[in-house]
Amino acid sequence: MNTETKLKIGELELGQGLILAPMAGITDLSFRRITKSFDVDLVTSEMVSSEGLVRNTVRTKMLLQSHAEEKPLAIQLFGSDPKVVAEAARIVADEGADIIDLNMGCPVPKVVRQGAGAALLRDAETVAMLVDAVRQAVSIPVTVKTRSGWSQSKINVSEVARVAEDAGADAITIHPRTAKQGFSGSADWPLIAKVKQAVNIPVIGNGDVTSPEDVGKMRKLTQCDGVMIGRGAMGNPWIFKQARQLTKGQPLSSPTPQERLDVVRRHLELYEESLHGRQSLSGVRSRLMWYSKKLRGSARLRAYLSDCHHLEDMIKICEDFFSALEE
């Protein structure tokens, strides 16, 4: 049975609301373009420093690389100074972003020490000022991504969500783990349902969505308006297409080893293209490893790749691995 839902953020229509989560060092231009070819409705950039953008730092500006084929595109900003974040939002909007997403959930110490990311869960007043400042600065939709609270004894995501909505946020994404949890334990999906009941803006669920079946389970349990997938999409961009197939009652199609290899090759092409002539062996190595997860012989492949220090050899090892699976 077709139970397809429709997500609308501001004036932007996003189909079923299947969204690629922002992941530092992972959701670069090459990965976003790959996932876009597998029916994702919205892709999100890596987390971008508002301070770095305003200071025109070259490394930060590189994170704004985009391509027409990945649209619509959300750029995620982090920061704690409303004026600086608003100015960064204007820069991002001028660069062609379709959505500004404000990070209010990153638990990494160097981000938290700045009063940004998950630190904002302890400061609802700054949450309101940040959202309001960005809302006043740009005409495109403004969203917030946050966690359940700072710690298990301080679960306040419903309050933060209401504050964000009142300040002008167009949607909110909930990863129902606390900042103290990081990525340990399990995501508390029922908490997403509570936020859904607390606000009138769209609520997007995130956390522990690692299979296409999980998308439907999260929707059913939480009544969320969209589903954001992060680590479950690493080396597995097929998850978006498969989730859509399940929603439409279609048979689930899994990629063959040759299809996996074709996507690996394409991903590496896009990755090298985005580096503009530079080379990152560690970047190539990690991307090759993503695509072998849970496949027969993947541990041996990772060991070979870890010991390999030449790009051509890495690619040859990977090609032999997928060819053997095909046989």
pLDDT digits (tens, 9 = 90+) for 200-252: 999 999 999 999 999 999 999 999 999 999 999 999 999 999 999 999 999 99
Does position 1 have pLDDT exceeding 70, yes or no? no
pLDDT of residue 269: 87
The answer, yes or no, to whether residue 4 has pLDDT greater than 60, is no
What mean pLDDT comes out for the span 291-316?
Answer: 88
pLDDT of residue 277: 62
Model confidence band, residue 279 (pLDDT cutoffs 50, 70, 90): low
Alpha helices in the chain (DSSP H): 29-36, 50-54, 58-62, 82-94, 109-112, 124-137, 157-167, 189-198, 212-222, 238-247, 257-274, 281-290, 298-306, 311-326
**In the predicted model, is pLDDT for residue 327 greater than 80?**
no
Least confident range from 117-126, 247-256, 276-285: namely 276-285
Nearest one of 148, 151, 168, 142 to 160, comparing CA atoms: 148
Of 106, 224, 308, 318, the active-site residue reads 106
In the residue annotation, 106 being an active-site residue is answered as yes
What pLDDT does residue 208 have?
97
Q: What pLDDT does residue 119 have? A: 97
pLDDT tens, position by position, 47-100: 999 999 999 999 999 999 999 999 999 999 999 999 999 999 999 999 999 999
What's the chain's average pLDDT? 93
CA distances for 128 relative to 82, 102, 163, angstroms:
9, 12, 6
Per-residue confidence (pLDDT) for residue 228, from 0 to 100 = 98
